[in-house]
Amino acid sequence: MDKIMKTDRETEAQRIALGVSDEIADIRMLNGRDLIALGKNGIKSLDDLADLASDELLEITGTANLNQKTADEVIMAARAHWFEAA
């Protein structure tokens, strides 16, 4: 088995075990490491993520994958469902 595929499967299994929602996992700007960090910090639903400020998101995930602009985009993507019903 390809090492990358094995790592991806293990990361996905850990995300699921931590309870991070599929909706968060679908946000393309977040990688597996980000998803695991979110789960370990109790961010499991879109509303949990949407309630964060960008600096809080960067504190949780670190800046290896995200910068301020991308963090803002992630949070706005998480908030999108708030405005769909309006």
Q: Is the pLDDT of residue 85 over 80?
A: no
What single letter denotes the amino acid at residue 66?
Answer: L
- Judge whether 6 and 12 are in contact, CB under 8 Å: no
Structure confidence by residue, pLDDT tens digits, 32-73: 999 999 999 999 999 999 999 999 999 999 988 899 999 999
CA angle 44, 12, 68 (to 5 degrees): 55
Instruction: Give the range of the structural domain holding residue 11, as residue numbers without chain letter.
Output: 3-84
Mean pLDDT of the chain: 92
Distances 76 to 37, 42, 46 between C-alpha atoms, Å? 19, 19, 10
For the chain, how many structural domains are there in total? 1
What is the C-alpha to C-alpha distance for residues 58 and 48, in angstroms, rounded to an integer? 15
